[in-house]
Amino acid sequence: MDILRETLSEQLNFLKDNPLLSVFTLAGIGVAVCLLFWLIWRQSGEKQPLRERVVIGLLGLAFGLLLLNYFFPGDFVRGDGSLHMARTWLLMDVLQKGELPIWSNRFYFGHPQELFFGFNTYLSIIGVSKLTGLDLFASTKLLLWLVHVASGLFMYLYARKRSLNTGIAILVATAYVISWQHFGVVRRFGILPLALIYFWIPLFFLLLEYWLQKRVKLVIAAILGGVLCAMSIITHIQYGTYLSVTYMVVLAWIISVSTVYRDWQNVRRTILLGVGTGIIAFLLAGWLAVPSMLERVYLPSIPQVLGTLSLDGIITAMLNIGLITNLLDSWGQGYVGLSILVPALIGGLVAVYHLIVRRKISKEKLISGYPFFIAAIGFILLDPIKRYTSIWLFFVCIVAGYGIAWIVQHLVASPSRIPRLYQAAILFILLELGPALLLVGGYRDMASVHDDVARLQNELETKGTVGRIMVFQPDRGVFWRAEDTMMTNASIPFGGSIEEATHPFNIMAAISNQLATEVYDGSQQPSPELLNLLRLMNVRYVVMDDNDIFGVSGATPVLFAPAVQVAEVEDPNGIMGQSAREMYEKRQISTDYVNAVAQQMQLDVGQPQAGAILVKEPINSMPEHSGACLTEQPFTFEGAVERHNTVALNYNACGDGYIRLAYAYYPLLRLEIDGILTSFYPDAFNMIVFAAPKGKHQVTLTAVVSPLREGFFRVAGVSAIAILVWAVVQVFSWYSTRKIAKPQTQLQQGYSR
């Protein structure tokens, strides 16, 4: 309830600071509510109903007014918003500089960028920005608002296609749009890709309904279904996979029902649809899905998809989705709403009664009952797959529509009372879920931080220095939340990722904890231990959220040492043995290990040198050197150039030794000395270390993709071109057929006169 109190406080402050905007938003929501009431009255009453296109247009206007919250002032930085905005900026910068979005040295200590996640959302935001001229934050708000409204309209069309009347379809679409699990997780918790996932879901099953009603050919349904599968996976690999698997489960349901009724033709058609859809999805999205499973060993911080199934977990999930006390405390199982769950329960019980007791149900109705099946089995999955709530919401809303339809059919005696019942239902939905539309959390004014980072970045570029800027943004004083800390040496004034960061992220989490304790909590100067850690990570500047900035002297991207030693340091909290997600969940971010390792390295503050480079365990394949020469300056480097995909520098060592680069170890990087491929290894911080021969040499670190992923890239490119050509041919053929058919129709009408 602390979050609820904080949210109410934020709301009051917002009303005080933005009275005109608040009045405008409330007026817009009021107009939307009146419009929804009028639409239901007009479409469910005795008057001539409006045309479907008019209803869709007015419904889109109502949804647009309900969602004006997206345009509140501020930047998308709370929750996961900072991560997604950072990655959007990163993708735009990479593309503008003509590089590949496969790896970026300018995010954390090196980041695999879009190889393990998906980029549809970020690319869409960039597209909106280029088309409109708006900045990324404004473009994000506009895109999310548009796809959120569109998702509601497609939900309405889906409900109508399933023979629900206009009034119920409006109720279902409204519930889908303003449910906390839809609006809240996108707007407040900043899970931006979910906005597109919610857009893809009704499109998926609207296409399926057209195919079931034989309005779409099998080939077209398979290709479009495969494209939708691929698009959803490339939007967010986990949610997209859940959605694609759900679609296949629905097809399995259709096959099972058709088998029971011995409709072998439908069995064959559905199998072909599933196989065709799967093949197209595999061709287009295999580059992301397959390597993400096989290569995830390189990124041990990626969380597991599945949990364990337990009765306690199911009960907890039920409480989360049904009790308003959990409204703001659980995004993974966000509040769905009693106004949705109660009629859905009625609809489910009625379906069970007809199926088991009366046993009078046709094959067509049983096939079309897949939303009931998914809603039932999906509820069991809410504990082991907490994120499945977002997919489950769609089916629950549809089942709720059938529950309302049953209530109207059996409990309302007079047809004249039907519009009033619908209006009462939508009033219940708006009163229960509508207050979330006024929440102001999720945005924060970051303009001053943007300016500071841009200025510091210009200073680094002017000096020709390679160094990182650390933006420290502790959220509500909870300093162990290291995802609020972002490492960059480019102008990315946003947050970072605990999902895909390589292991040095754990070190950064510990540094953040110590930084919060020493500096943010009131101390004037950071300790020598903290400064040493920042130097090791090549942090040149630290920008605090209160506009305080302090520089770090002696930070270096390169560290030379005459020897490599195994770190004889205990790691009681297992900081290097756990993933970043595990550390985040357990709140175990200790500074003891990293401080001890840094001290044992014997750093030379004035030179890019150390007494030894520490590794976690012996490396038998690393060459042994007898030691460097004894001079005043045994090692120098110059000409360090850093891009997203590459790092290059020249060094001069008077003797053989070892070099540590302040970049994350990742096996698929390519390290060359004077153009010759060289082996490299992880140090105790999971940074790159390699044997460095004496003399003057050039070192190049280049990002590459595995042969497996490269092959999938080629397949996806060829497949996308082939599908695009096929689509153009289909559209041209349809247009030509329509153009020929129109004069013939006019000629027939002339003869009939």
pLDDT tens digit sequence for 283-299? 999 998 888 878 765 65
Contact predicate 326/319, CB 8 Å: yes
Whole-number pLDDT of residue 678: 93
- What does the pLDDT average to over 298-324? 47
Q: Which is higher by pLDDT, 742 or 399?
A: 399
pTM: 0.86
Question: Tell me: the pLDDT tens digits for 674-717?
Answer: 999 999 988 888 889 999 988 999 999 999 988 999 999 999 99
> Residue 220 gets which letter from DSSP?
H
> Residue 495 gets which letter from DSSP?
-
Looking only at the bridges linking them, the beta strands covering 681-682 and 676-677 are unpaired
Q: What angle do CA 219, 223, 229 make, to 5 degrees?
A: 145
- What does the pLDDT average to over 259-268? 92
Residue 745 token pair: 């129709």
Of the candidates 667, 540, 511, 535, the residue with the CA atom closest to the CA atom of residue 607: 535
Q: Using CB atoms within 10 A of its CB, is residue 301 exposed (0-12), middle (13-18) or buried (19+)?
A: buried
Torsion over CA: 152, 154, 160, 164 (sign)? negative
Residue 407 reports pLDDT greater than 70: yes
Contact predicate 526/519, CB 8 Å: yes
Confidence of residue 744 (pLDDT cuts 50, 70, 90): low
657 phi/psi in degrees, rounded to 5: -170, -150
- What does the pLDDT average to over 494-511? 47
User: Edge-to-edge strands of the sheet including 558-561?
Assistant: 603-604, 609-610, 558-561, 657-664, 687-692, 681-682
> Residue 353 gets which letter from DSSP?
I
Whole-number pLDDT of residue 235: 93
Of the candidates 29, 202, 23, 192, the residue with the CA atom closest to the CA atom of residue 120: 192
Round the CA-based radius of gyration of the chain to a whole number and report it: 29
Confidence of residue 415 (pLDDT cuts 50, 70, 90): confident
Contact predicate 113/101, CB 8 Å: yes
Of 69-73, 392-396, 657-661, the range with the lowest mean pLDDT is 69-73
User: What's the half-sphere exposure (Cβ side, CA atoms, 13 Å) at 249?
Assistant: 17
- What does the pLDDT average to over 575-580? 51
Q: What average pLDDT does the chain have?
A: 79
Question: Where do the H-state alpha helices sit in 528-601?
Answer: 528-536, 580-586, 592-600
Of the candidates 581, 593, 595, 515, the residue with the CA atom closest to the CA atom of residue 552: 515
Question: Tell me: the pLDDT tens digits for 172-218?
Answer: 999 999 988 888 888 877 889 999 999 999 999 999 999 999 999 99
**What is the C-alpha separation between 322 and 316, in angstroms, rounded?**
10
**What is the C-alpha separation between 590 and 59, in angstroms, rounded?**
53
Confidence of residue 572 (pLDDT cuts 50, 70, 90): low
Residue 479 reports pLDDT greater than 70: no
Q: Between the CA of residue 73 and those of 47, 76, 223, 540, 602, what are the distances in Å? A: 43, 10, 41, 31, 49
Residue 356 reports pLDDT greater than 70: yes
Residue 666 token pair: 């990742």
Residue found by looking up tokens 């857009």 in the block: 199
Contact predicate 450/76, CB 8 Å: no
**What is the C-alpha separation between 591 and 609, in angstroms, rounded?**
23
**What is the C-alpha separation between 48 and 303, in angstroms, rounded?**
55
Residue type, 219: V
Strand partners, 701: 647, 671
Of the candidates 32, 34, 33, the residue with the CA atom closest to the CA atom of residue 65: 32
Report the 10 Å Cβ neighbour count for 139. 21
b/e map of 18-29 (b: 16 or more CB within 10 Å)?
A: eeeebeebeebb
> Residue 50 gets which letter from DSSP?
P
